[in-house]
Amino acid sequence: MTTEPARRDMIRNAMKAPYLEREEEHQLAIAWKEQQDQEALHKITTAHMRLVISMASKFRNFGLPMSDLIQEGYVGLLEAAARFEPAREVRFSTYATWWIRASMQDYILRNWSIVRGGTSSSQKALFFNLRRLRAKLARNGDLISQPDVYQEISQALGVSTKDVALMDSRLSGSDTSLHAPVSDDDSGSATRMDFLVDDRPLQDALVEESIDGNRRTSWLRDAMQVLNERELKIIRKRKLSEEGATLESLGNELGISKERVRQIENRALEKMKSALVSDNRADLASYA
């Protein structure tokens, strides 16, 4: 990063650099374009550094170092020199202005907040013009309510009122560290990071549980195929219902003793276990 004395020297030297006449500028641009003449490039960029500095001063209210803005503007100046076509008979300053501004704006969008803002043309227009338009409307005093302000700005910039409201909220607040305490009491106060913890299972665990659940359901369905009608009825009412029927109630329903129900249940479970082991020996081994 450029130090303050170095920045002042750079600005001083830029202001001392001579202006280029149209014909001289044209010849230097041809020399750089056709012959890659570094001296010609140096003269062009030096003569236009005051343009970079002037434009950087327009963005100083975004809270970023002036020296960084100038350096980014210089990058845009070099990009303009690389793309400039002398044959178009356009002054270099007119062409370079767009590239200088674009380079500075990209730098501001990357560094103004740790949360990256939108990079579309409409989002850029909102970011760089919202404050100016709000101030202008406030001076005019024609609009009072916030919805009216948002509506006026959305029409002026060709964006939705929702985008205007979102950008306004972003510009109104500053970044807050997740490690900052929630309250002003520093004595062991919880931080915002503490409230980001999600106790729910991870997605891979949920997927694994779902796959295993479907597999076990399939095994159970196949194993129940070996049961006769009475065994199937007892297993369903004893093991697969929410309430779980008692031995006595099933005995009364089937006209047998509760001890006989218990015996049929045990036999059915053994039959199912044998069927499971026989049909799914390889899969069961993976669970061991």
Domain ranges of the chain: 4-111, 121-172, 203-287
pLDDT value at residue 260 = 93
pLDDT along the chain (288 residues), means of 10: 66 80 92 92 92 89 85 93 90 93 85 58 66 64 62 72 67 61 64 73 85 87 89 89 87 91 92 83 54
pLDDT value at residue 93 = 92
Among 55, 43, 44, 41, smallest CA distance to 11 is for 55
pLDDT value at residue 36 = 92
Please give the structure tokens belonging to residue 277.
């082991």
Q: What is the C-alpha separation between 167 and 149, in angstroms, rounded?
A: 13
pLDDT value at residue 164 = 67
pLDDT value at residue 16 = 80
- SS3 label, residue 191: strand
Question: Which long-range CB contacts under 8 A does 56-63 form with residues at least 24 apart?
Answer: 56/104, 59/104, 59/105, 59/108, 62/108, 62/112, 63/112
**Any idea which fold 4-111 has?**
Four Helix Bundle (Hemerythrin (Met), subunit A) (1.20.120)
Among 55, 36, 40, 38, smallest CA distance to 93 is for 55
Q: What class is the 203-287 domain?
A: mainly alpha
pLDDT value at residue 131 = 64
pLDDT value at residue 102 = 87
Question: DSSP letter at 192?
Answer: G
Kindly report, residue by residue over 99-138, the tens digit of the pLDDT. 999 899 888 877 776 555 555 666 666 666 666 666 666 6
pLDDT value at residue 270 = 92
Torsion of CA 254, 258, 262, 265, to 10 degrees: 10
Strand partners, 181: 191
Question: DSSP letter at 59?
Answer: T
Task: Report CA torsion sign: 137, 141, 146, 147.
Answer: negative
Contacts of 134 (CB under 8 A, 6+ apart): 149, 153, 168
pLDDT value at residue 286 = 55
Same fold yes or no, 4-111 and 203-287: no
